[in-house]
Amino acid sequence: MAKHTFLTGDRPTGRLHIGHYIGSLKNRVALQNSGDYDNFVMIADTQALTDNANNPEKIRNSLMQVALDYLAVGIDPQKTTILIQSAIPALPELTMYYLDLVTVNRLNRNPTVKAEIQQKAFGESVPAGFFIYPVSQAADITAFKADTVPVGDDQEPMLEQTREIVRSFNRTYQRDVLVEPEGYFPPKGSGRLPGIDGNAKMSKSLNNGIYLSDDADTVQKKIMSMYTDPNHIHVEDPGQVEGNVVFTYLDVFATDTAKVAELKAQYQHGGLGDVKIKRYLNEVMDGVLRPIRERREQYAQDMASVQQILIDGTAHANDIANQTLQEVRDAIGFNYFK
């Protein structure tokens, strides 16, 4: 029996960046190609609305771009179901049932939510939909009986919240209906990427990322503007490797680890300029991004086919989610007309 994987969907509020790629998309493609899993990947437009309620056009305009990014990195619609969150009616109903099993205090302790609330500077005006999105995410995952969820390290608290909801539901209604998911994380050392400006997080809202759809010239310009060591003013000056974004990216993307080690030693000793290491990083990143860019351009030539992929995937996902919803209703006893 195949295992089920579910990629907690990316929010269609802009293009996806290379942080998304190493954070979960690369693992998603690997699991998909293993042939051992039933795969679902979601475009989380409902979640995006939680802090963009006054700008739905932004979400609508970004949805197809996110779909292109998924296809560009190698998500194969023949192997993976790509679905749109808002087009799955079972998800909000499941969310309502799960909300009765979670306390406000527990949601308030979720470190991922706390960090994002602080980052978005909501203050006392946190939208309720945003506050409860860990519960909505639990509905997304459990609707497809996912036992494996490729995510970045920062999403582990969200998965733990889902596991708590699963245990609470199964215990409360004395049925083993829902499945506890486990995370599938990036290799150690290739977790969340910093922004090109040195910010600890690469973020669409901060516009400090390299996007999967960026052309070669744009990538080069971004790399040449990357944060390095502000005290490394002259070539002959010893430079700092820790906190140097260029070396952080080389550690993640360069396959020639011996060369990277050599560049680090030379940089720390003095005699290696920032321009040289940035040019090498540009070569490395071009090798990573060129095939992604080419696939994206190919799919973009036939957007009607991309739309049909979403229609077909969402229809299949609806069948699966509705089956889970019926099992949940049966467990609760909301099956009055059967």
- Specify the pLDDT at position 4: 67
- Specify the pLDDT at position 8: 64
Distance CA 92, CA 97 (A): 9
Distance CA 296, CA 19 (A): 17
Kindly report, residue by residue over 83-133, the tens digit of the pLDDT. 999 999 999 999 999 999 999 999 999 988 888 888 888 888 999 999 999
Name the fold adopted by 3-192+303-332. Answer: Rossmann fold (3.40.50)
- Specify the pLDDT at position 1: 45
Q: What whole-number percentage of the chain has pLDDT above 70?
A: 97
- Specify the pLDDT at position 2: 54
Kindly report, residue by residue over 191-235, the tens digit of the pLDDT. 578 999 988 788 777 789 999 999 999 999 999 999 999 999 899
Query: How would you label 34-43 residue by residue, b for 16+ Cβ within 10 Å and e otherwise?
Result: eeebbbbbbb
Distance CA 20, CA 309 (A): 21
- Kindly report, as residue ranges, where domains of CATH 1.10.240.10 are found in the chain: 216-297
Note whether 49 and 63 are within 8 A (CB). no
DSSP one-letter string for 13-76: SS--BHHHIIIIIHHHHHHHHHT-EEEEEEE-HHHHHTT-TT-HHHHHHHHHHHHHHHHHHT--
Kindly report, residue by residue over 158-180, the tens digit of the pLDDT. 999 999 999 999 999 999 999 99
Query: pTM for this one?
Result: 0.91
Report the C-alpha dihedral over residues 116, 119, 124, 127, rounded to 10 degrees.
-50
The architecture (CATH level 2) of 216-297 comes to Orthogonal Bundle (1.10)
Amino acid at 205: S
Averaged pLDDT score across all residues of the chain: 92
Give the H or E element holding residue 94. Answer: helix 90-99
- Kindly report, as residue ranges, where domains of CATH 3.40.50.620 are found in the chain: 3-192+303-332
- Specify the pLDDT at position 274: 95
Kindly report, residue by residue over 257-287, the tens digit of the pLDDT. 999 999 999 999 999 999 999 999 999 999 9
Phi-psi domain of 256 (left: phi exceeds 0; alpha: psi -120 through 50; beta: other): beta
Residue 144 has pLDDT above 50, yes or no: yes
Kindly report, residue by residue over 120-137, the tens digit of the pLDDT. 888 889 999 999 999 999
Q: Where are the beta strands (DSSP E) in the chain?
A: 3-10, 37-43, 80-84, 148-150, 182-184
For 182, the 3-state DSSP assignment is: strand
Which neighbouring-strand residues pair with 184?
150
Residue 6 has pLDDT above 80, yes or no: no
